[in-house]
Structures are given as C-alpha cells and as structure tokens.
Amino acid sequence: MTAPEQHAKQQPLDDAQPKALGTTVPKIGVFVCHCGSNIAGVVDCGKVREAAEKLPGVVVAKENKYTCSDLGQEEIIKAIKEHGVEKVVVASCSPRLHEPTFRNCITRAGLNPYLLHMVNLREQCSWVHSHEKEKATEKAKDLVRMGVSKAARLEALEAREVPVEPTSLVIGGGVAGIQAALDLANMGFKVYLVEKQPSIGGVMAQLDKTFPTGDCAICILAPKMVELSRHPNITLLSYSEVEEVKGYIGNFDVKVRRKARFVHEDKCVGCGLCADVCPVKVDNEFDLGFGQRKAIYIPFPQAVPLKYTVDKEKCLHFKSGKCLLCVKACTNKAVDHEMKDEVISLKIGTIIVATGFETYVPKKNGVYKYWEYDNVITALELERLLNASGPTGGHLIKPSDGQTPKKVAFIQCVGSRNKKIGNNYCSRVCCMYAIKNAQIIKEHEPETEIAIYYNDIRAFGKGFEELYHRIREDYGVEFIRGRPAKLSQNPKDKTVKIRAEETLLNKITEREFDLVVLSTGLVPSEGSRKIGKTLSLTVSPDGFFAEAHPKLRPVDTAMDGIYLAGCAQAPKDIPDSVAQAKAAASSAAAPMMARKVRVEPLTVTVTEELCVGCGLCTELCPYGAPELVQGEKGGMKARVIEALCHGCGTCAASCPQKAIVAKQFTDEQIYSELESALVFDGKAHASRAGHKKKAEAEV
C-alpha cells in the first residue's frame, strides 16, 4: 500500500477530527516575511510562498522583506481588499512580538482582529535550524500548511472592556515603593502603600552614603518619606502584609493584614516616653545587631510613621503578664496590649510590586569565616558602623576589641557570580559600594590601608568610573585581582590573614588585615517569594520577578495590571530603582487614566450539557476562574468567570468530558493543525505515516 492510500484509509484520530470545510472554504491570504536575513538567510521563502499558494483556500500568497513595515502592512490591506481575503496567515516572528501589529493591520482593512494566525518562522525555525537550510525550508512549509489549516477554522471574537478602579496598591516601602507611590499620588490617584516593617525606608535608610556622589542616604530619603506620610492621596499601611489578592486588572480585591503594633497610631505622637521606661533591651535589627533597642521601639530616629511598636516576642507583659510601665508612661494612652491584628479589604485597580531584596548571608563554616571570625563583617554591617546615627556614631571599629582598624580588606563577589551556590548573576552594586565605603573610611581615617580583592570592577554608571579613578589616584586604595582562597585568624590579636592569588602577578599573596568586609550580593527576599505566590507572578532563573519582556516591557509582568519596581525585579542601584519606580507608576497610571482597559477575549467557555461537575478545573486553574454552581437543570456545573480567565487552556486540556473549550485553541483547530502536519502535497508524509503504521501495529 502506498503512503497516500494508507492515509486515505486511516481512521479519524477521534471525534475531534477536523470537519471538512465543504464548499465554504474561506479565502486565506498568506504573507511570508524575510525578516531581513533573519528568516530568508536560512529558509527559502520563495519556495515557502509557492507551497502556500497551492494550499486549499489560499487565494493570495506574498513575500516581504519586512512584513511589519508600513509597506508590508499596506500589502496585507491591499490583498484583503483586492482578493476578498477573509483569514490572514502571517509567517514571520513570534506572536509575542508582532501579533498586536498585525491585528491592528487587518482591523484597518475591515477584518475582525482575531481572524489572524501567526506562524513563527523565526524563533521556531530559522534561528534554531541555521545549519540545516533545506530541512528548515521543509519545516517552514509544514508550519505554514498547519497555520493555513488552523486559520481556515478561526472565528471572529470581540475584545472586552472592563472598568478600572483609579486606586493603586504599592507593595513595599523602600525607595522604589516610596517613589512609585508619590508619583501616582501626584497624578491624582489614590494609593495604598503596604510595608511589613514598622517604618518605611527599606535598605536605603540603613545606608551611610550613596555612590558615586556621596550624598547621605537618609538625608535624601527622609524628605520623601515625610512627604509620603503627609500626602492626602496616600494611605500608609505600615507593619502590614498583603494576605490575599483576587480579581484582575482594574478590579483587584485585596486583603491586607494590619499586624497589631500594640500602639494606636492615631494617638501615638512619637515622644518616646514609653521606650525610656521599658526595661527590656534587645539587639536592634536595623543596626544588624551592633546597636540596641527597647521592646517598645522605633527602628531609627527618622522612622515614618513616627509611631512606636511593641515587639511581642520580647515584651515582658506578653511573657509574664506584668510590667506595663510603657502604658503608665504614655500620656496619650496610646499603648494598648489588647490590640488585635486587623484585616482590611481594598478595591484596587493596579498593583506595583516593590518588595526589594535581602543581602546574601554567608554560610556557616564557609571559606570567608563570617560566623567564625569577629573581624569579618558584611558590607551592610559596615554601612551601619560608618553611619553617623549608627551604633558607634560613625566611628569604624574592629568588633573584636572596639579599636580602630589600621588595615581593611574588601572581598568582592560574595554570594554573586557563583555557580556553586546558584547565584550566577552580578549584583551590580557591590563594586561601587565597596569603592564608596573605602572612600568614606579614608576620609574618616586617612592613614588606613585598604585593599579590595576583586574579580572584575564594574563601574558602568554615570560618574562611577570617575569615582573608581579617584579612589586609586587620590586615596591610594589597592586593588588585588583575585578571589581569596583562604582566611585564617591570629588567635591573639584577631587579625585575619588572607591568602589569594594576585592573578595579574601570577603569584600567591598572603596579607594580614584588621578588618575584612565581605561585599555580599543581593538575593530575592523571603517576603517577595510569598507575594509572588499570592499574585501568581513568574520568576526568572535568578529568583527575582520576571518582567514581561526584557527590553520592551521592563516594568510590566505577565499579569495585566501588576508592575515591578526596584530590586524585586533584579539587583539595581538607587538611581535605577527610582527610575524604574517612575516607569512603573507611569505604566500603572495608563489604564487608571483611561478608566477602562481592553482585555483579550481568548478565554474558555463551558458547555453545560457535557459538564459533570467533577471540579477538576477549579483545582487546576492558576487564576481561580472556574467555580462550581448549581446548574439550571440540576447538578453542579462549572462556570468560568470570564474576567478572571487568562485563556491558558489548562482546564480545557484536562476536562475529562471535553466540556470546556478554549477559544482560538479548540480541539478542532488543534487537530486540524496536527492533521495537516502529517500531510504533504495532499499525501501523508511517508516517514510519519510509517510511524503511525508502527504505532497502530503496536496497538
């Protein structure tokens, strides 16, 4: 039996076998794009066009150097008008890039925008098969044939419009969250800013000075913090956490847990009388354990809101039921140990995620002995020790004896650029903060000898290279190119000896230092992971939140209406965080300004007669779109809340009754593509038919 005969005799795959289109085959236009040489350099586009011309329903097939150009689009419009084309196939790049372009294009020619099908000849063919030109051309023909077959079965859909609540939620009160909230509030939108700590400010509030200009971090941040707290459009929800987010762009229902701070915010004036009498002293997290605070506290003097918080873990009253000295001391009756957590509901239009980062914590018994040696500290600890409002009043000390260190070493790339611990990325700020801190130390104590052990110095920002130059020229800081291999401590004076290869000299060096500072990298925060799950955000391989497109949509997420700002997306410095926050605010403002937004009609529909109410779809849906309701004719039936549906098709693929159909991805459309993948020139592919034969024999 020859291959075509065998194909003719084959049984339908199943009941979803594409129906014959009969006499009403729609008129299809195929447009093959060269994409300059991106596609045409590998695929013979002329042959692809010739093959397309012969396909059933195709009334016109054209090639273009750039189909997305004005010229290319004009040709599509012309073909639609001249040949009466009803469905359009564009064989070019990924639909992620140009689907909106071509939908707009065919809309201009009077067609429904959803009567377009894109065949990806670039990412899925020419780019991956650049060494197999002939086979790539054959594959391109196959892909176009499949696309034409699907296009014939496309149905017109209408985009929906949903209203947008002009209120934004900013999660995270670091510099990025503060800036995004201020920008949106200044545009006139209502903003809720949720911060889990008692004060906003984030890591920037802990820093001493900022690179490359040497501005005092808190001096430039505090005015913004105060402005935010006083802004009429902003509601600051400090010491709070986002607990639940439901809904979709323009219409999110958010639940926020306001943790009990045991101090009424409306009554507390921040006078500090309570902390004066509190008998409990504990390490202050804000000073990373170098300083102390009371059990009722503000983390730092410039805290916003300037409201005290009771640390429930440490407060004597919660341990013994006694004390209450703070309650007696407070003249405003603000302290209330009976306070309970409170959950509030918010109606939100757009969300900005600015959940920030954590600094990498070196491992116990690691090479750099952070936990074992007193005089090995992290860079953030150094920031606190250099800070005028820090635990030492800005005087740098050796933790072992409180003396001023004479020789200081910085070790770069700790927790960054290390495949062993899984952090392959560069944290982007460590080179510059080490150089900046070296400068501050030199300014405090000009006699200090400083060496920086580095792998590569990345001084790429505005003014960075100039600072790098200054630190060598004016301050004489030494740069040693090599990653330290071994640290050992002198048990008597607690100095630390560093062994490292100076790779530029090809020599192993051993040097002693009084203080070793680990330039630790930035890692995704634990809180971010939780928020990411709550919001169904996607994560990049590095663990930070993934943006919708690395170049063209850097602040958007795959979820409409949710935007990213600051280090939650990737490590970045303060100017970049602020810039991104402003960009996120602008992106979030766009739908709120319009008060309505168009959402894709690519959702699913449920055929109630087929549904048996098993509820599998409700379990599998990542967006909570399907729900079980009482059917009209009795029994539980699935119903999909269209506004929540993202059209991912998980439910449609898993429905055992095939009661759920994903629009534009119906079984009929998908099977028609599969069928035409197996057919060539009206005949079954010999090799593939062979596989089928074998499969049948095995059955």
Partner 1 sequence: MGEAEKTFISGLHEKLVEDKVIDESQLEPGFAKEIQKYGGKDVMTCLQCGNCTGVCPISLKIDYKTRSIIKYCQFGLKKYTLGTRWVCATCYRCYEHCPADINPAEVMIALRHIAVREGVIPPFVKIAATNLVKYGQSVKPDAEIDKIRKELGLGDVQSKDPDYRHVLREIAVLVHATKYDKLIGIEEEVKV
Q: How far is the CB of 504 from partner 1 (least distance, A)?
A: 9
Q: How far is the CB of 576 from partner 1 (least distance, A)?
A: 24
Footprint on this chain of partner 1 (rule: CB under 8 A): 367, 413, 417-420, 455-456, 481-486, 499-503, 506, 508
Q: How far is the CB of 519 from partner 1 (least distance, A)?
A: 14
* 3 state DSSP class of 524: strand
Complex with partner 1: residue 402 or 541, whichever CB lies closer: 541
As a whole number of angstroms, the distance between CA 476 and CA 470 comes to 9
Residues near 207 by beta carbon (within 8 Å), at least 6 away in sequence = 217, 218, 383, 387
As a whole number of angstroms, the distance between CA 543 and CA 381 comes to 24
Tokens read off for 206: 């802990």
Complex with partner 1: residue 360 or 545, whichever CB lies closer: 360
Rg over alpha carbons for the chain, rounded to the nearest Å, is: 32
Q: How many other CB atoms sit within 10 Å of the CB of residue 674?
A: 16
Q: How far is the CB of 499 from partner 1 (least distance, A)?
A: 5
Q: How far is the CB of 500 from partner 1 (least distance, A)?
A: 5
Q: How far is the CB of 682 from partner 1 (least distance, A)?
A: 46
* 3 state DSSP class of 623: coil
Complex with partner 1: residue 431 or 568, whichever CB lies closer: 431
Complex with partner 1: residue 449 or 501, whichever CB lies closer: 501
As a whole number of angstroms, the distance between CA 215 and CA 232 comes to 29
Q: How far is the CB of 14 from partner 1 (least distance, A)?
A: 47
What are the backbone dihedrals phi and psi of residue 76, each rounded to the nearest 5 degrees, phi first? -65, -45
Complex with partner 1: residue 484 or 527, whichever CB lies closer: 484
As a whole number of angstroms, the distance between CA 157 and CA 586 comes to 30
As a whole number of angstroms, the distance between CA 275 and CA 3 comes to 88
Contact 591, 164 (CB under 8 A): yes
DSSP 270-308: ---HHHHH---EEE-GGGTTSSEEESEE-SSTT-SS---
Side-chain half-sphere CA neighbours of 644 within 13 A: 18
Q: How far is the CB of 524 from partner 1 (least distance, A)?
A: 19
Complex with partner 1: residue 306 or 361, whichever CB lies closer: 361
Complex with partner 1: residue 285 or 502, whichever CB lies closer: 502
Residues near 284 by beta carbon (within 8 Å), at least 6 away in sequence = 290, 291, 292, 293, 297, 299, 391
As a whole number of angstroms, the distance between CA 410 and CA 164 comes to 50
Complex with partner 1: residue 280 or 361, whichever CB lies closer: 361
Q: How far is the CB of 522 from partner 1 (least distance, A)?
A: 17
Q: How far is the CB of 284 from partner 1 (least distance, A)?
A: 33
Residues near 352 by beta carbon (within 8 Å), at least 6 away in sequence = 168, 169, 170, 171, 177, 180, 181, 184, 562, 563, 564, 565, 581, 584, 585, 588
Complex with partner 1: residue 419 or 462, whichever CB lies closer: 419
Complex with partner 1: residue 501 or 600, whichever CB lies closer: 501
What are the backbone dihedrals phi and psi of residue 419, each rounded to the nearest 5 degrees, phi first? -70, -30
